[in-house]
Amino acid sequence: MHRGRCLRPTAVGPVLDPAIPLPGVAAGALTGLVSATYPALRAARLEPVDALRAGT
């Protein structure tokens, strides 16, 4: 045993590299934009009265 020797606390850093989640966030944003754009473009081509009638 080593008497008189103190254990020094070590700093704990992040295990996950901050750059790793970025592609996932980018893929989610791209998916959201694409899935929202198609119905919006379809609705923009309709007459407002026809669009309201189709909703009921």
Per-domain boundaries in the chain: 23-54
pTM of the full structure: 0.51
Share of the chain above pLDDT 70, in %: 75
The DSSP element (H or E) to which 49 belongs, if any, is helix 48-54
- Mean of per-residue pLDDT scores for the chain: 81
pLDDT tier for residue 54 given thresholds of 50, 70 and 90: confident
User: Cα–Cα distance between 45 and 40 in angstroms, integer?
Assistant: 9
Banded model confidence at residue 7, pLDDT cuts 50, 70, 90: low
Which 3 state secondary structure label does DSSP give 7? Answer: coil
d(CA 17, CA 31): 24
